[in-house]
Amino acid sequence: MSVNIRSEGRGLTAPPLVVSTIEEIHEIVKIVQSVGAFAFDVETRGIVERHADAMNAFNTELKQHLADMVTTSPAVREATQERLMEKWRGIIALDPLRNEVFWIGIATDGHSWAIPMGHLCGEIIVPEEVGDGSTVPPTGYRKLKKDGTESEAKIRYRIPLYSAHHPNNYLVLMCLQH
């Protein structure tokens, strides 16, 4: 079943329509061409593990940082590693030669669309779940205690949705090229 790609009458506060087929992208191109102007935005992420030089720099920085630490508990070391990895993900995410696009937003007069790209392929593994701080996260999303067991603490958490119902990056870009 195809989503109605025309968004007239949805109002100024309506979220963009999510595009999930190549046919819908072709329809977007036609609408944009008929208007003659558009704006776009991309959302990117940095995957450090795909860049050997960035991984080497991360590992060097981590090794130095861990050597300088006074506290050496596993939890502190793990938190330090995650903080540094987030820093490097941010560096890669902002580098247009290395980042990975995972959403393109397109808007024109009276229309807006969100095109998911680069999402993991496969069946839906788990529906998206957001913990508001009043629940215990499922196993694998909990913090580890000093003894290595998972905490039963109620915290905020987010489990992403992985889906294969979106066109891949190459197909999206080929369609938009026209």
| Pairwise CA distance, residues 126 & 133, whole Å | 19
Q: Is 37 exposed, middle or buried (0-12, 13-18, 19+ CB in 10 A)?
A: exposed
What pLDDT shows up at residue 1? 33
Mean pLDDT in residue range 4-10: 54
Residue 160 host element (H or E)? none
- State the pLDDT confidence band at 122, using cuts at 50, 70 and 90: very low
Q: Does the structure show a pLDDT above 90 at 142?
A: no
Alpha helical stretches, state H, the chain: 22-35, 52-68, 74-93, 169-177
What pLDDT shows up at residue 163? 47
pLDDT tens profile 31-47: 999 999 999 998 888 88
Report the largest interatomic distance among the alpha carbons of the chain, rounded to a whole angstrom: 63
Q: Does the structure show a pLDDT above 50 at 2?
A: no
What pLDDT shows up at residue 37? 92
- State the pLDDT confidence band at 123, using cuts at 50, 70 and 90: very low
Q: Does the structure show a pLDDT above 70 at 166?
A: no
| Pairwise CA distance, residues 170 & 178, whole Å | 13
Mean pLDDT in residue range 101-120: 83
Q: CA angle, 93 as apex, 172 and 133 as ends, to 5°?
A: 100
What pLDDT shows up at residue 173? 63
| Pairwise CA distance, residues 25 & 41, whole Å | 15
